[in-house]
A and B are shown apart, each in its own frame.
Chain A
Amino acid sequence: MIFPELQKQARLRLLKMHFEAKVGHIGGNLSSLDAILYLHHNIMQKEDHFILSKGHAAGALYIALWSVGKISDEQLLTFHKDQTKLAGHPVPNWIAEIPFATGSLGHGLGLACGMSLGNKLQKKEGRIFCLMSDGEWQEGSNFEALVFLNHQQLKNVTVIIDCNGLQGFGTTEEIASLNLKKLHEIFAVFNFESPLSLRDTETRHESRPALRGSPPRISMGNTGFEITEINGHEEADLKKLSRASNRPQIFLMKTIKGHGISFMKNQMQWHYLPLNDELYNKAKKEIENL
């Protein structure tokens, strides 16, 4: 199936699932869905792992796993019901493709660092993809993990940040003066040498003497992070997630909360609201007519 058709089918199934269960969190699921789908269909290999740090996008993950045959139709019907494994946020210990229960923000990056380090120590292959939200970067634990990730230079960690600009009770700008550009600046600060990276590589960094008051310029090498901005709904941009690097990678992924449905687009209330019959049919039609 070509990716645009896959996107369409997945979006329809996601909406149906949320509509039938009468639950919200649709906006943030739609901002993440394309990337999760693309990763599971086009990038991830058997030895790779995906950690959904923004656990409230569980619906998007369930749909992606359904689309690759890891979750059945019958299981999807149990979403948000009694006797389900498909809770509102991922629960532990039932499917290898969901290695960790998430839902409390600020855990995924540390877990990704651990999986990467464990693999490295055991000489196991595999990339670790960690999908986070932009608002999640208000959690201090992420900065602990960021320092660790840089210092350990865990190059098989790929962090993807869903920058939809909206969080629980306002925009990321209003609440924390954060946006994609500012996050980029924060991560760029970590572009300093780690002794571990020097040990790991034969390529030495060509650091020129820093001008007074300015950071050292690093012409190339294995320090800090490789930071890339992409559009989280464009196939051409999502392809960039497949790129290997000699540094941990951070993808700042510009997305739209409620992507694909006109009345949800960038509307904070769709972080919470369930769909009624009328709006569900309207949304369905919009997607079918794409």
Chain B
Amino acid sequence: MREIFCAEMIKAFAKKPFVFLTGDLGFKALEPLREVMKDHFINAGIAEQNMVSTAAGIAKTGLSVFCYSISPFIYARPFEQIRNDICLHNLPVTLIGNGGGYGYGVMGATHHALEDYGSLLCLQNMHAFIPAFDFDIGAMISRISDLNKPAFLRLGLAQKTAEISYAKWRKVLDGDLGVLIVTGSIASNLLYDFQSEEAGGRPTIWVLGELPLFDDFPQELAQEISNKKLCVLEEHVAQGGIGQMIAAKILAKNIALKSFLHLHAQGYISGFYGSQNFHRQESQLTKEAVISAFKLN
């Protein structure tokens, strides 16, 4: 997603100037943006706490700011600066975390982001944008710009698929197996994998792109899951994940389900490390695991 992200940021900068801070990352990806933005593109160095406080200070003077790093370095390391300096003041600073979930694969656990949007959404005024497809990025940057509030953009590596217009809630596939709600780039992989299955062997897939959930649970989705099997899948730990958020909405709306399943990141079960796919398989975040969950429950 990084190349597309860079191209979309160049377009956004042409519409309305902003400041871009990077924590010394972006090699072979953000150079074109740096060229265009000139003095508005600043390498803030390997100093994420200061980068976030500085972003808040800049935003206070009237400019919106984007802060970029590998995901855990932008949401976990400077958490108090995000909480106090950005969120308490409701400032238009967007944190861009590259490598959502197990995105950095065999680079190791320190580079994974399994609790990013869950922890950030505990903070006042924070919004999370979780693209599933490359073509979501442009729409999300537009929405972030209009929102003008604290935001988190979780970048990942998406499977190429046919373009589908962006919406916070989208139905991307029909099927008879049950209903699957998924967020993040893993949605693109599951869509790709299930597309070739017959209707009876695939679920209806809904993709969720933004958090928190407000009073915007789609009526169509509510009807579809009524008395059906629902599976929620995310590359994020269960605590603070969309599984818990959606379960709370379903309870509040008194929707009766046949069953509720939640597939989520489970950390490092075997104690071994590997690619993003290795960790997804260990956590049962695969097409096969979804089919099996629907059949067993």
* Cα–Cα, bound, A65→B81 (Å): 26
- What 9 pairs between A and B have smallest CB-CB spacing? A114-B57, A110-B53, A118-B61, A144-B47, A144-B50, A118-B58, A114-B54, A141-B49, A115-B57
Cβ of A118 and Cβ of B59 under 8 Å apart? yes
Within 8 A of A (CB), among B63-82: 63, 80-81
How far, in angstroms, from A101 to B88 measured CA to CA in the complex? 8
Binary CB contact string for chain B from 1 to 28 against chain A (1 if under 8 A, 0 otherwise) = 0000000000000000001000000000
Measured CB to CB, the nearest residue on chain A to B88 is: A92
A198 CA to B90 CA, complexed, in Å? 36
Complex Cα distance, B42 from A107, in Å, reads 20
A199 to chain B, nearest CB (A): 10
* A142 closest partner in B (C-beta): B50
Closest-by-CB residue of A relative to B39 is: A121
Judge whether A148 is part of the interface by a CB distance below 8 angstroms.
yes
Q: Mark B198-209, 1 if CB is under 8 A from A, else 0.
A: 000000000000
Asked if A113 is at the interface of the complex by the 8 Å CB criterion, the answer is: yes
Is A145 within 8 A of B89, CB to CB? no
Does chain A have a CB within 8 A of B60? yes
Q: Residue on A with the closest CB to B124? A: A92
One digit per residue, 1 when the CB lies within 8 angstroms of any chain B CB and 0 when it does not, for chain A 72-110 equals: 000000000000000000001100000111101011011
Inter-subunit contact A122/B62 (CB<8 Å): yes
User: What are 17 A-B residue pairs whose CB atoms fall within 8 Å in the complex?
Assistant: A93-B89, A100-B89, A102-B84, A107-B80, A110-B50, A110-B54, A111-B85, A116-B57, A117-B42, A117-B54, A118-B63, A119-B61, A121-B40, A144-B50, A147-B45, A147-B50, A148-B45
Q: What residues of B have a CB within 8 angstroms of the CB of A30 in the complex?
A: none
Q: Which among A118, A122, A147 is the interface contact of B57 at CB below 8 angstroms?
A: A118
> Is B45 a contact of A100 with CB atoms below 8 Å?
no
Chain A: minimal CB distance from B257 (Å): 41
Complex Cα gap A144–B77 (Å): 13
Interchain CB contact under 8 A, A114 and B53: yes
By a CB distance below 8 angstroms, the chain A residues around B56 are: 100, 110-111, 114
In the assembled complex, B128 has its CB within 8 A of some CB on chain A: no
Please tell me if the beta carbons of A111 and B63 are within 8 angstroms of each other in the complex. no
In the bound complex, what is the Cα–Cα distance between A151 and B45 (angstroms)? 10
Tell yes or no: A124 within 8 A of B by CB. Answer: yes
| B44: interface (CB < 8 Å) | yes
Interface centre among A101, A102, A109, A114 (most CB of B within 10 A): A114
Given contacts A92-B89, A100-B89, A107-B85, contact A145 B53 (CB under 8 A): yes
- A160 within 8 A of partner (CB): no
15 additional A-B residue pairs with CB within 8 Å, beyond A114-B59, A117-B42, A117-B58: A93-B88, A93-B90, A100-B60, A107-B80, A110-B54, A111-B53, A113-B50, A114-B54, A114-B57, A117-B19, A117-B57, A122-B63, A140-B49, A141-B81, A144-B49
Does B55 reach chain A (CB closer than 8 Å)? yes
A118 to B40, CA, bound (A): 9
B40: chain A residues at CB < 8 Å are 121
